[in-house]
Amino acid sequence: MPYKRLFDSHCHLNDPVFKKEMKDVLSRAKAEGVIGAIVPGYDLDSSKRAVELARLHKSLYAAVGIAPHSADEFGPDDLAIISQLAESPDVVALGETGLEYHHGPDKKRQQELFRAHIRLAEALELPLIIHSRDADDDLWSIIETEGLSRGVLHCFTGGSELMERAVGHGLFVSISGIVTFKNAVDVQRAAKDVPIENLLIETDAPYLSPIPHRGGRNEPSYLVHTLEKVAQLRGIAPDELAEKLRSNTNRLFFALYENENAD
Ligand SMILES: [Zn+2]
């Protein structure tokens, strides 16, 4: 029996690698109980494609935004385009955006990009999908000074201090397949310690395949491995966790669409 009504809070089905087999990927996801997913953009093209996919497929929703990796190419007109794309009824969040200090471009540029996204998210009353790597302190000082009301730290790999700050601020923490890796002690600790009301899970496909698919191309149907691992770490049944995650997903992304997405 597949799990009931799982939701992949972050997968890049807008990556060209999925172009030719979208139908198969979606039917495999459905067979595993993954009935919905958010497809975040990471630049203008991928944001447009996310909106297009969400328009074509009932189970998919879009987020639009520019990732820190592309901060160098980001110009003032681009945010206007993102804002325009966000008007589509299939867009439920802005992102992904954030700070990438591990191998990202100029930090100042990244910070400008991140601030601009927070302001736009607040203006549009959309939650923000945040990428952060090796940037905990700067990330938090920007979130605090700009004042972000709704969002998720996606593919969480930060420390416990960042987790506590995020939770204290009402943000969500999303756990990826990294949690299944043997040495990912910090991510496992976060998955176990984060209050269940603030927890989401994701594949971040096509990257970061969970065990037993590690090293291969990831896809939403593999979300079950992350669900099972997190449930095991927390000592609860996967079904019970799935139900909780479903309501978290609704709270963060679909609060404005409650009637359309009622159970
Ligand atoms: Zn991503």
pLDDT tens figures, 194-221: 999 999 999 999 988 889 889 899 999 9
Indicate whether 121 pLDDT > 90.
yes
| Pairwise CA distance, residues 86 & 201, whole Å | 23
Average pLDDT, whole number, for the chain? Answer: 93
Indicate whether 135 pLDDT > 70.
yes
Residue 210 in tokens: 């969970």
> How confident is the model at residue 111, as a pLDDT?
96
Indicate whether 259 pLDDT > 80.
no
Q: What is the mean pLDDT of residues 94-104?
A: 94
> How confident is the model at residue 227, as a pLDDT?
98
Indicate whether 260 pLDDT > 60.
no
- In the reported structure, the alpha carbon of residue 192 is separated from the centroid of ligand 1 by a whole-number distance in angstroms of 22
- In the reported structure, the alpha carbon of residue 34 is separated from the centroid of ligand 1 by a whole-number distance in angstroms of 18
Indicate whether 261 pLDDT > 50.
no
Indicate whether 262 pLDDT > 50.
no
- In the reported structure, the alpha carbon of residue 67 is separated from the centroid of ligand 1 by a whole-number distance in angstroms of 8
For 147, phi and psi rounded to 5 degrees? 75, 80
- In the reported structure, the alpha carbon of residue 9 is separated from the centroid of ligand 1 by a whole-number distance in angstroms of 10
* CA R_g for the chain: 17
Residue 256: pLDDT band (50, 70, 90) is low
Q: What angle do CA 95, 201, 47 make, to 5 degrees?
A: 25
Find the distance separating the first CA and the last CA of the chain, reported in whole Å.
20
- What residues contact residue 97 under an 8 Å CB cut-off, 6+ apart? 65, 66, 67, 68, 113, 114, 117, 128, 129, 130, 131
- In the reported structure, the alpha carbon of residue 131 is separated from the centroid of ligand 1 by a whole-number distance in angstroms of 7
> How confident is the model at residue 234, as a pLDDT?
98
Indicate whether 60 pLDDT > 70.
yes
Share of the chain above pLDDT 90, in %: 85
- In the reported structure, the alpha carbon of residue 186 is separated from the centroid of ligand 1 by a whole-number distance in angstroms of 20
- In the reported structure, the alpha carbon of residue 18 is separated from the centroid of ligand 1 by a whole-number distance in angstroms of 15
pTM: 0.94
> How confident is the model at residue 95, as a pLDDT?
96
- In the reported structure, the alpha carbon of residue 47 is separated from the centroid of ligand 1 by a whole-number distance in angstroms of 12
- In the reported structure, the alpha carbon of residue 103 is separated from the centroid of ligand 1 by a whole-number distance in angstroms of 15
Query: Is the preceding peptide bond at 40 cis, omega within 30 degrees of 0?
Result: no
